[in-house]
Structure 1
Amino acid sequence: MKKYIYISGFMLIAFALSFSFGSCRKKGDTIAKVTVRDTANVIVPNARVILYGTSTLPQPKPVERRDTTTTNSSGVAIFNYNEVYQLGQAGVAVLDIIAEKGDMYGEGIIKIEEESENEATVFIQP
């Protein structure tokens, strides 16, 4: 009789643990990729790209987030927003984009969705 109690207790604990470990999931990467091109639609390596938020309140607050990087040899700037997004959060941000290299300049906008690669293209011109 004791043997059945031990076995059923063990099975109950194993069953409960299987549900508790199965419900934990690792969040996916939240990435923003900005491709910079010139007016001839040619990729622009080593362009400076800035992503920043703009306040939508009636009395604007200072910008809380401003990230800067340069494009790689493929003309793509990559930003990682894993630390910004929290599991269960609906949406992450809508950010303005500034891209510049030398005397060329362009602007755009990107919507950052959770746990996905978000892409935008900015065209720069003199």
Structure 2
Amino acid sequence: MNIMIKSAFYGALIVGMGVVFSSSGCRKKKDTTAIIYVLDAQNQRVAGAQVVLKGESTITPSPPVILFDTTLSDGSGVAIFNFNDVYQLGQAGVAVLNIEARKDALSGQAIIKIEQEKANEETVFIQ
């Protein structure tokens, strides 16, 4: 009788572990985004600015640019980048990207740290 109880217990434990592992593998990935606010010298948001995000290697000799994306800021001076294709579930790591913004004769630079499955925000001032 003891053997049957132990067998049932271990069988239930194995099934339970399978449920835990299979349910954690089905977790829906959250968005990984970069939200860039473009402001001028008067702290006013700038619409229509070209915003470039690029990641560069930190080793020497430096290989080509690792990541490069560009968009325009919208009517409220916000540029949104989506990195869902770059980051996969279970992947560890953070990216630090250079921000370059330009509109007409105005330009500015900043840096943003991108964390997986978060809305990462940064402001760049153009002068």
Q: 2:36 aligns with which of 26, 34, 37?
A: 34
Tell me by how many angstroms 1:54 deviates.
1.5
Q: TM (normalized to structure 2)? A: 0.82
C-alpha distance in 2, partners of 1:63/1:118?
Answer: 21
Listed as ranges, the gaps of 5+ residues in structure 1 are 1-7
Distance 1:16 1:108, change over 3 A: closer
Is 27-36 or 89-98 further displaced after alignment? 89-98
Aligned position for 1:22: 23
Aligned residues, how many? 116
Identical-residue share of aligned pairs (%): 52
The aligned counterpart of 1:117 is 119
> Would the aligned equivalents of 1:91 and 1:112 in 2 still touch at CA under 8 Å?
no
Partner of residue 73, structure 1: 75
Kindly provide the amino acid, as one letter, of the partner of residue 24 in structure 2: S
Report Cα offsets for 1:41-98 as digits up to 9, x if no partner: 0000010000001110111111021100000111110000001112122223100000
Unaligned runs of 5+ in 2: 1-7
4+ residue stretches of structure 1 with deviation over 6 A? none
Q: Is the 8 A contact 1:50 1:67 kept in 2?
A: yes
Check whether the contact 1:34–1:77 (CA below 8 A) recurs between aligned residues. yes
> Deviation string for 1:4-42 (max 9, x for gaps)?
xxxx9xxx6x86764454222111100000000000000
Normalised to the residue count of structure 1, the TM-score between the two structures is 0.83
Partner of 2:59: 57
Q: Check whether the contact 1:36–1:122 (CA below 8 A) recurs between aligned residues.
A: yes
SS, match of residue 61 in structure 1: coil
Q: Secondary structure at the residue paired with 1:22? A: helix
Task: Report Cα offsets for 1:88-122 as digits up to 9, x if no partner.
Answer: 22223100000000000000000000000000000
